[in-house]
Structure 1
Amino acid sequence: MKKILYTALAASLFAFSSCDDILDTSKKSSMEKTEVFSNEALVNDVVMGLHQSFGETNSYRGRYIAYFGVNSDCEIWNNTGKKGAFTDKEGALVTYNATTDNQYMNTDNNVWAKLYEAIERANSAITGMDEYSDMSSTNMRQFYGELLTLRAFIYFDLIKAFGDVPARFEPNTTETIDLPKTDRMVIMRRLLDDLLTAQDYVGWPNENSFTKSTERVSQTFTKGLRARIALFAAGYSQHPDGIRYNTEDATERQELYTIAKNECLDIISKGYNTLGTFEANFKALCAEGTTAGAESIFEIPFSASRGRVIYTWGVKHEKKDQWTKLAKGGINGPIPTLFYDYDVEDIRRDITCVPFKWTSDNDGDIAWKAPNKCWGGWSFGKVRFEWMNRVVDSSNDDGMNWQVMRMADIYLMAAEAINELEGPKGSSDAGKYLKAILDRSYPAEKASAILTKAKASQDAFFNVIVDERKFEFAGEAIRKVDLIRWNLLGSKMNEAKEKMTRLYNREGEYADLPLKIYYNEGLDGTDATSYKMYGLNHGDTDEIGQTLGYSKSKEWIVPKESADQAAALLLIDQLYDNNPDTKQFWPIWKVFIDGSNGVLTNDYDY
């Protein structure tokens, strides 16, 4: 089902091309609704109509995926050190400096509108199915569960980006078009209930014809999303009265951790998805295989001419080449210290953090690797044009699916929830689920040592979870939300700036790094397989590098007297402008505030 083409029928039924249609869905006669919601093929089209909202320019495609989740203590937007990032229409979105009139967001067709558009489509479809669909049909049940799950997924993304938002669980009417914000806990409780209901409807991976694809909702995703929401609800976030628990009820927090634990353990015990290897997951994603049952649980599908996943989160291609016909990639990258946070033998390091770019001859027929710089040169390498099976030839879009959830998250959420409930030595054995991630990431002795360290106490286990989730999910826009729910956003961002400053000065833990890197671009500049590099690791020295026979060398860590000094310092500064703890969420954009008849307002000093 790769690269779903949305039918004209789905668009015409639920695109609501005019404002009047949005306000009065009752215009559609009962006969029309009966015909639609009693027909499996038409209801399937209705479900796919929600995906249309994902692919529009100012929705997930070009706004949410591109800017939400950066900057964090491991991810940074525009890592080339572009001047004016604090006030730039794009940069302000990630440096905790957004204003309500942001030029990239303050339009009536932007991400806020598009997510609520999808919610309205889901509300109308759920209402129609409640009244007209035969719920004894396996397929109809699957569609119903998908609608509940996708609505919950979209609502949770709204909460992650904006905090408290209006709650809409029924089709819009003229009386309900303007609604005030609802406390996020009220909405999340409803989402948890809806996802529990949805489990009775959707199939497990490969259990029916629809769940054979990672582009469709399976019970693994429904349960995993319920666990993810429960952990966020049990944690912290910024509220109008300050940063606090989302629920002050300690008993409810325990219940939420129990939900997360039970959902994750059920997924793991059922065995419908397998963990596999770290690299295999991302190579399969780039190869655009969507067969369910491996590590990938759910992906937002994009057609070949939509989506900016590798363009935003992938390896930089400086010129056109045999994989992409235009310069692309490398917009978001690792902060320069992330590479050095990993253990040198952690297999995730060299897949996640890429110190080179691809460049090519003038004709773009062949490309080779060329090193960037420690400051403004790292790319994320989990998604790569060179791992694709087709050439990308559109301007910014690459058609790569956005991987929303994978099994590593299930294991780490299970470990975290169990530790919160029982500690690391409880009967449910939190360490068992952490061990699965450690064993595939480190040599056996190091994995065992980390697990022993974690099991020393509940706090020690939590601290290892904090680190391992960074190493596992860097470059997937998960980290910022983790830091928020742990109440670690501000402190970890401060720590990141301090570490970047020490790296710039080659002080502390970075004092043993050489000034230069030594490398071969390839034989005659064409053989990328011969690309080698020395000088990235602790203990590497310039003295040794000069003796190894590399054809080229290049300054890596910027010397203070270098012309690149200003760019390096700017990269440190632009990790954040305002205190992240005071700007955890984007503001509701002015166009929606102004159009709400005075119902909507902004908090957090916006």
Structure 2
Amino acid sequence: MNKIAYITILFFAVVFTSCDEYLDAPTQSTMDESLIFSNVELAQGAIDGIKEPMGQTNSYRGRFLTHYGSNTDIEWNNSTSENARGDLSRYVNSPTNSDMNRDNVYWAMLYRGIERANICIRGLRTYGNPEPGTAMGQLLGEAITLRSIYYADLLKSHGDIVARFEPISSETIYLPKSNRDEIYKHVIADLEEAATLVAWPGETEATATTEQVNKAFVKGLRARLCMAAAGYSQRGSSISRSSDPELSVSTLYPIALQECKDIINSGTASLEPSFETVWRKNCEEVITAGSESLWEVPFAEGRGRHLFTYAVRHQAADQYTGQPRGGSYGPTPNVFYDFDAKDTRRDVTCVPYSWSKSNPAVQELMGIDTWYFGKWRYEWMTRYVTSTNDDGVNKIYMRYAEVILMAAEIENELNGPSAAAPYLKMIRQRAFNEEDWSTKVDAYVDALNSKEAMFNAIVDEHGFELCGEMERKQALIRWNLLKSKMDETKQKMDDLRNRTGEYADVPSKIYYNYLPDGETLDFYGLERGETDDMLTEYDYAENWAGPDQLEDDKINSLYTNDPDQNQYWPIWQVFIDASNGMLNNDPVN
């Protein structure tokens, strides 16, 4: 694998020098840019250097990907502890948060990557002759896209941020925040150019893996950003869309739809035949381009904490992992019961057990208040993890399924439910076995005969498809549904524990045995409607749904502060203090 964590790029080692707590400022390079960016191999090394900050300790590896995206209406922090990570989950967004208020946290690392991209873009444009279809063109497209990824993540987590699209000079070391609308417009235009420069997945050696930028991903990212820019967001104390006509739904949705259609019509991406296959391949570290994963944040074996953070919990080193971790976040307890029981995504996504402290370990039933994301499982890996705090599994940054869902949403908005229906059917056909298509796919989708009904169904489908992937928060924000959907989930959890309303048929007890392999649980009472009439066939029983099993403090940990008034993280105090008075957390007009 072409992993990034330990790449050392001589060019950037010379070009950059440390700048107290804010950004790495350039010094005069002793290596001529004309030499670096006129040579494909050297230029490729410089492009790899743009990705290197992703693997830094407090960058994507251990802060951004491990902290951003929770809590939502379908995902939450499994711990109620009032610590730094828990505060962010509960929308207690202090600029002095102890996990984030550090000079080497992701804010500095992402801007380091942006600066490296700026230097590469300037060098390639000046010395590389980066035409479409050439190696230099591919490198320029990748540099532009990597910079766009960094901006996309800063925008979704902070709103208004510092705009830097040229290498730093002595005059621009300190800059104020810019209005997010101007950055969105710049990045959306950048991605339009990048798509003309890079090849489709698997079309060339340069796009052979999901760790490399390709045209399908660039177009998908542009569509995602168009929808975010046209959507709602917190602006000061209000929630509104942009007033800029260039960022209106009527302007950006057709652009996003065309990008999605280009990807779909290209035939260069496809849904995996089963939902489980997506996640088995991710855990098995299969990175061949051309299927469902469009691009992944690439981690070395000793970097990256995705299973460490999101996988089914292992309480001790055991037969599947030498790293006793996983389970920091999980689905909210209602999600399992909100799925259709025949939806094959349910049991992949929602896992009610951890692995015990024994070695070899066995599955151990948790309470109804603690579920794990089953998309990531150490037991699916082909590599035995021995690191104490890194698993090295790539983060899938965008899937083809999201492209299809975006196409459905946009078609519904622009052309109505009949135009959206074929795309929603594509997603549901993969989710259900073929014998159920007539009812679960065709009849279900065909009954959505109003724009409102189709939109609500797409919102639900988005949750079922993407639960745990930490895309939900940004979607809820742009739909202006963040707090209202979270309040709906709090009510669902209250109904679930009291077994009332739509959860009246959830059993109060679970019975279980172990299958002949001695480690896998066999349940009765997990499904709706299962009663005590099979009690004698099971050796173990535990209380399941009830007021004592899902307490007020747990439900209320979904949020403490109003999510709609805390949609964005603040700029961390260490960067404000080092900004020469240029940065603050006041709204940008």
d(CA) in 2 for partners of 1:351, 1:312: 17
Matched with 1:323 is 320
Instruction: Tell me if structure 2 keeps the 8 A contact 1:76–1:335.
Output: yes
Equivalent of residue 493 in structure 1, options 476, 486, 490: 486
User: Normalised by the size of structure 1, how large is the TM-score?
Assistant: 0.92
d(CA) in 2 for partners of 1:603, 1:537: 49
d(CA) in 2 for partners of 1:214, 1:477: 19
After superposition, the Cα gap between the structure-2 partners of 1:24 and 1:502, relative to the gap in structure 1 and judged at 3 Å, is closer
After superposition, the Cα gap between the structure-2 partners of 1:3 and 1:545, relative to the gap in structure 1 and judged at 3 Å, is farther
- After the TM superposition, which of the residue ranges 176-185 and 221-230 deviates more from structure 2? 176-185
d(CA) in 2 for partners of 1:14, 1:99: 36
Matched with 1:35 is 35
d(CA) in 2 for partners of 1:38, 1:573: 58
Equivalent of residue 384 in structure 1, options 353, 374, 377: 377
- After the TM superposition, which of the residue ranges 290-299 and 317-326 deviates more from structure 2? 317-326
User: SS at the partner of 1:210?
Assistant: helix
Q: Does 1:91 align with 2:61?
A: no
Equivalent of residue 446 in structure 2, options 424, 449, 452: 452
Matched with 1:342 is 339
User: SS at the partner of 1:519?
Assistant: strand
Structure 1 residue 527: deviation in Å? 2.1
Structure 1 residue 10: deviation in Å? 5.0
Q: What amino acid is the match of 1:374?
A: I
Equivalent of residue 536 in structure 1, options 526, 546, 553: 526
d(CA) in 2 for partners of 1:239, 1:462: 24
Q: What amino acid is the match of 1:515?
A: S
d(CA) in 1 for partners of 2:129, 2:221: 26
Q: What amino acid is the match of 2:558?
A: L
- After the TM superposition, which of the residue ranges 499-508 and 56-65 deviates more from structure 2? 499-508
Q: Give the superposed CA RMSD.
A: 2.0
After superposition, the Cα gap between the structure-2 partners of 1:247 and 1:314, relative to the gap in structure 1 and judged at 3 Å, is farther
Structure 1 residue 9: deviation in Å? 2.6
Matched with 2:366 is 372
User: SS at the partner of 1:533?
Assistant: strand
Q: How does 1:176-187 map to 2 (within 5 A)?
A: 176-187=172-183
Instruction: Tell me if structure 2 keeps the 8 A contact 1:6–1:45.
Output: no
After superposition, the Cα gap between the structure-2 partners of 1:22 and 1:537, relative to the gap in structure 1 and judged at 3 Å, is closer
Instruction: Tell me if structure 1 keeps the 8 A contact 2:280–2:380.
Output: yes
d(CA) in 2 for partners of 1:495, 1:559: 18
Equivalent of residue 546 in structure 1, options 535, 540, 555: 535
Matched with 2:228 is 232
Q: Does 1:289 align with 2:280?
A: no
Q: How does 1:74-473 map to 2 (within 5 A)?
A: 74-77=74-77, 79=78, 81-83=79-81, 85=82, 88-136=83-131, 138-247=134-243, 249=245, 252-276=248-272, 277-361=274-358, 364=359, 366-375=360-369, 377-425=370-418, 429-442=419-432, 443-444=436-437, 445-454=439-448, 456-473=449-466
d(CA) in 1 for partners of 2:281, 2:482: 32
d(CA) in 2 for partners of 1:7, 1:582: 40
Instruction: Tell me if structure 1 keeps the 8 A contact 2:292–2:401.
Output: yes
User: SS at the partner of 1:476?
Assistant: coil
| 1:563-587 deviations in Å (ceiling 9; x for gaps) | x66xx32211111000100000001
Instruction: Tell me if structure 1 keeps the 8 A contact 2:181–2:247.
Output: no
Structure 1 residue 511: deviation in Å? 2.2
d(CA) in 2 for partners of 1:533, 1:235: 43
Instruction: Tell me if structure 1 keeps the 8 A contact 2:285–2:394.
Output: yes
Instruction: Tell me if structure 2 keeps the 8 A contact 1:317–1:328.
Output: yes
Matched with 2:518 is 527
Instruction: Tell me if structure 1 keeps the 8 A contact 2:270–2:400.
Output: yes
Matched with 1:46 is 46
Instruction: Tell me if structure 2 keeps the 8 A contact 1:367–1:528.
Output: yes
d(CA) in 1 for partners of 2:533, 2:540: 14
Q: What amino acid is the match of 2:430?
A: R
Structure 1 residue 12: deviation in Å? 4.0
Q: What amino acid is the match of 1:341?
A: D
After superposition, the Cα gap between the structure-2 partners of 1:56 and 1:391, relative to the gap in structure 1 and judged at 3 Å, is same
Q: What amino acid is the match of 1:9?
A: I
Structure 1 residue 558: deviation in Å? 4.2
Instruction: Tell me if structure 2 keeps the 8 A contact 1:351–1:381.
Output: yes
Unaligned runs of 5+ residues in structure 1 are none
| 1:218-244 deviations in Å (ceiling 9; x for gaps) | 001100000000011111000125110
Matched with 2:564 is 581
Instruction: Tell me if structure 2 keeps the 8 A contact 1:261–1:418.
Output: yes
Task: Work out the percentage of aligned pairs sharing the same amino acid.
Answer: 45
Q: What amino acid is the match of 2:583?
A: L
After superposition, the Cα gap between the structure-2 partners of 1:106 and 1:14, relative to the gap in structure 1 and judged at 3 Å, is farther
d(CA) in 2 for partners of 1:237, 1:162: 11
d(CA) in 2 for partners of 1:527, 1:128: 60
d(CA) in 1 for partners of 2:466, 2:380: 19
d(CA) in 2 for partners of 1:195, 1:14: 29
Structure 1 residue 412: deviation in Å? 0.6
After superposition, the Cα gap between the structure-2 partners of 1:336 and 1:241, relative to the gap in structure 1 and judged at 3 Å, is closer
Q: What amino acid is the match of 2:266?
A: K
Matched with 1:557 is 545
Structure 1 residue 492: deviation in Å? 0.4
After superposition, the Cα gap between the structure-2 partners of 1:10 and 1:436, relative to the gap in structure 1 and judged at 3 Å, is farther
d(CA) in 1 for partners of 2:213, 2:258: 19
User: SS at the partner of 2:34?
Assistant: helix
| 1:104-157 deviations in Å (ceiling 9; x for gaps) | 101111111111111111111111111111325721111100010111111010
Q: What amino acid is the match of 2:48?
A: M
Structure 1 residue 422: deviation in Å? 1.1
d(CA) in 1 for partners of 2:97, 2:477: 23
